[in-house]
Structure 1
Amino acid sequence: MTDKKNIMEYETVALDDNETSVVIIDQTLLPGRTQLIHLKTAEEIWDAIYLLKVRGAPAIGVAAAFGIYILAKGIDTQDYAAFYKELVKQKEYLNSSRPTAVNLSWALNRMEEVCRTNEKLPVALIKEKLREEAIAIKEEDIWVCKKIGEYGLDLVKPGDGILTHCNAGQLATSKYGTATAPIYLGQERGYNFHVFADETRPLLQGARLTAYELQSSGVDVTLICDNMSAAVMRNGWINAVFVGCDRVAANGDVANKIGTSVVAAVAKRYNIPFYVCAPTSTIDRNTKTGDDIHIEQRPAEEVTEMWYKERLTPEGVKVFNPAFDVTDHELITAIVTEYGIARAPFAQSLQEIFEKSREMKNKNK
């Protein structure tokens, strides 16, 4: 399905009306074409995540949750042991699609936990509980992003210049985005931010997605190439940097789209605060430091051929194409979560964030 609505009017990830497929925007076609695709099989869901048709850590988590629910509906058995065995098989397959974004395994583990803790129920009721959990994951994502936006907005003032890298916007989440949430809330309240969006090579998520959705929302946005960040900072045009992330280590090191660490280092040079917007679901306390984060390696063709009419580089040239890099916690001013803002020492402040999270969840039970 192709449509001409404003891109912000679409849901990034949804169930179709009959709940037989996961509906996503094929983000590889943006901004030139807006096409909704329906994912029904495990292979289609896996491919959509791996090929970046759906991308951004929170959106990947939501897509995986909906996906495992759709696949669970198709498991034709009333025997719990057989059902659970097949569910875990499908879960592990989907989890292999992308290794760095922790939200993928986080969402799938939540879905498996629902199955495991309801083993006494009939399989039909377990499937209904999986549906409820998948919807809850999406609704929580919207709440989380808005809370991150509120906390992030307290870190800036009207008229500020903001730099962002990659796409941590609505297209990467269910709504608002993470790094863009303060921008969208500020836009609603007349803050009149001036946003600079890094192009974000080699997949150009900043150029194709962030610039597109910000412009579609009426935000004053200027696109720059990745190697221009120092120039705009030196000119005094940037008051803060907001980025998203795919995984936060226990010590505050962060894995985000390749090039993020360069922006952080340059921001440090010009004394500009560097803020990471991270739902607590992206914080992996089992990962001690950034050195322990597995960095996904992407196909060479993304550098040599994609987005170009003709091949850009000579045949046979070697290519190093990591999808992410690690930003050292010493370069990070603060990590903005839905439960507050963590600052150095991050091992302590992130632990306090989790304690607050646990208290809030227990209070709401």
Structure 2
Amino acid sequence: MQSMLWDGQSLSLLNQTKLPAVVEYLKCTDYERIGEAIKKLEVRGAPAIGAAAAFAFVLGARQSAKSDRLLFLKDIESVDGYLRSTRPTAVNLFWALDQMMNVIKEQSDRIELPNLLNLLEQKALFIAAEDKRVNHTMAEFGAALFKEPVSILTHCNAGALATVEWGTALGVIRQAFSEGNIKRVFADETRPLLQGARLTAFELQQDHIPVTLITDNMAGWVMKNKMVDAVIVGADRIAANGDTANKIGTYSVALLSHMHQIPFYVAAPASTFDFSMATGEQIPIEERGEFEVTHFQGIQSAPDGIAVFNPAFDVTPNQYITGIITEYGVLKPNYQEEIKQLKDKMEENR
């Protein structure tokens, strides 16, 4: 199942707010609609958000196409600014938009507008294709960590639905399963929006990978009873010291893993690293609306007027992370040095 499909004129997004009950694709013909889909979590997952934003940029550039180059560039800045405002935590969004803006900066004075629009589309297609390649490479590095069948716990959804294809954490699980080294996956439901229950359990079931759904507050008991051998999660932003932002509840899972001496792995592409942030304390944490907590599938489940705190993400300190799985290999402590070396490799490959 594809999270997005580009036909050259529009981007069709799998509406993840309706899964697993309804499989519906939203046909987006303008950048504002894709931005709305990002805000509403109709498309979600850091790599998928980045790719969707790249295609939104293409549509925005086409909508802004004018004979006057200065007016075009002014409109492009508005498109870029709007898309950057949609979600604050997932750094892949900003990484992808930086890639698109670099095309504008490098080429806008050199070539005619039709050719520039074509280059933007090619860049978006490259970002999408690269996400697929990176996920498969990452999966191979991650699967190599498991030499015998294990039971894995995962939180939220870091699968094909959160990427262009295959997945980060679930990509590792898929690869390890194909090699005969996955006995069972425990999927946290991931409140309040149940991405684990609605999406991860759905994906794994579709792939015939043994999966057991548990509520978030069961994870500790499952670990205590030695039902879990390792934890793998995705990430939305990783600081230069290895502190990692992921869906709310990940920090709790990391602490439980540490207490029970269970390896805790993060799987994320290099584009998820934010080298400008020294520690996780600098990562902006998105807070979402009260309705997500006070209602369950549209039905009120809390008193009128109750105060609500609804952070969408939390930050796991690096000391609780056993390894960070990337397309460049598995990073291990000391993360400060390992991430510095990763940055150097990325710059060499540019």
* TM-score band w.r.t. shorter chain: over 0.9
Question: Which of 3, 6, 9 is residue 12 of structure 1 equivalent to?
Answer: 3
Please show how residues 40-119 of structure 1 align to structure 2 within 5 Å.
Answer: 40-119=29-108
Q: Does 1:305 pair with 2:295?
A: yes
Deviation (angstroms), 1:63: 0.2
In the other structure, the counterpart of 2:343 is 354
Matched, 1:267 2:257: yes
1:71-125: per-residue Cα shift (whole Å, max 9, x none)? 2122231333222221121011011000000011110110010111012100110
**Contact 2:189/2:196 (<8 A) preserved:** yes
Write out per-residue CA displacement over residues 259-294 of structure 1, whole angstroms, 9 at most, x where no aligned residue. 000000000001001001111101001011111011
Read off the aligned partner of 2:185 and give its amino acid letter: V
What is the CA deviation profile of residues 172-196 of structure 1, one whole-angstrom value per residue up to 9, with x for unaligned ones? 0011110011111123233343100
- TM-score, normalized by length of structure 1? 0.93
Does 1:144 pair with 2:138?
no
Give the Cα separation in 2 of the matches to 1:355 and 1:43: 36
Corresponding letter in the other structure for 1:206: G
Q: Secondary structure at the match of 1:185?
A: helix
Find the residue that maps to 2:238 and give its secondary structure: strand
Counterpart position of 1:340? 329
8 Å Cα contact 2:65-2:113 kept in structure 1: no
Q: Quick one: distance in 2 between partners of 1:296 and 1:334?
A: 25
Q: Distance in 2 between matches of 1:74 and 1:320?
A: 38
Q: Is the 8 A contact 1:58 1:141 kept in 2?
A: yes
Residue 330 (1) aligns with residue 319 (2) = yes
Three-state SS of the structure 1 residue aligned to 2:48 is helix
Q: 1:199 aligns with which of 164, 181, 189?
A: 189
Instruction: Report Cα offsets for 1:213-240 as digits up to 9, x if no partner.
Output: 0000010000000011111111111111
1:233 alignment partner in structure 2: 223
| Structure 1: distance between partners of 2:315 and 2:88 | 14
| CA–CA separation in structure 1 for the residues paired with 2:261 and 2:54 | 40
Per-residue Cα deviation, 1:30-56 (whole angstroms, up to 9, x for no partner): 000000111122321111001000000
Q: What's the TM-score once normalised by structure 2's chain length? A: 0.97
3-state secondary structure, aligned to 1:193 = strand
Which ranges of structure 1 fall in alignment gaps of 5 or more residues? 1-9
> Secondary structure of 2:212's match?
strand
SS in 2 for 1:180: helix
- Deviation, 1:341, is 1.3
The answer for the alignment partner of 1:134 in structure 2 is 124
- Hey, what's the Cα distance between the residues in 1 that align with 2:121 and 2:296? 37
Q: 1:26 maps to what in 2?
A: 15
CA contact (8 A) 1:168 1:243 kept: yes
Q: In the alignment, residue 257 of structure 1 is paired with which amino acid?
A: K
Match for 2:278 among 282, 288, 301? 288
Q: Which runs of 5+ in 2 are unaligned?
A: none
* 2:17 and 2:42 in contact (8 A); partners too: yes
CA contact (8 A) 1:304 1:312 kept: yes
Cα distance in 2 for partners of 1:183, 1:307 equals: 29
Q: Which residue of structure 2 lines up, in the alignment, with residue 187 of structure 1?
A: 177
Letter in 2 for 1:247: R
The answer to whether the Cα contact below 8 Å between 1:152 and 1:182 also exists between their aligned partners in 2 is yes
> Residue 162 of structure 1 aligns with which residue?
152
Q: Deviations over 1:200-225 (max 9, x none)?
A: 00010000000000000010000000
Comparing 187-196 with 238-247, greater Cα deviation is found at: 187-196
Which of 143, 168, 176 does residue 153 from structure 1 map onto? 143
Distance 2:314 2:88 in 1: 13
Q: Distance in 1 between matches of 2:163 and 2:329?
A: 19
Counterpart position of 2:248: 258
Query: Any idea what SS the aligned residue of 2:27 has?
Result: strand
- 1:293-330 deviations in Å (ceiling 9; x for gaps): 1100000100111325x310111110000000010111
Give 1:3's aligned residue: none
Q: What's 2:307 paired with?
A: 318
Residues 297 and 322 in structure 1, CA contact (< 8 A), matched pair in contact too: yes
Kindly tell me the number of residue pairs found equivalent between the two proteins: 349
Amino acid at match of 2:154: T
Q: After the TM superposition, which of the residue ranges 232-241 and 349-358 deviates more from structure 2?
A: 349-358
For the Cα contact (< 8 Å) 2:146–2:176, is it kept in 1? Answer: no
User: Which aligned pairs between 1:171-186 and structure 2 lie closer than 5 A?
Assistant: 171-186=161-176
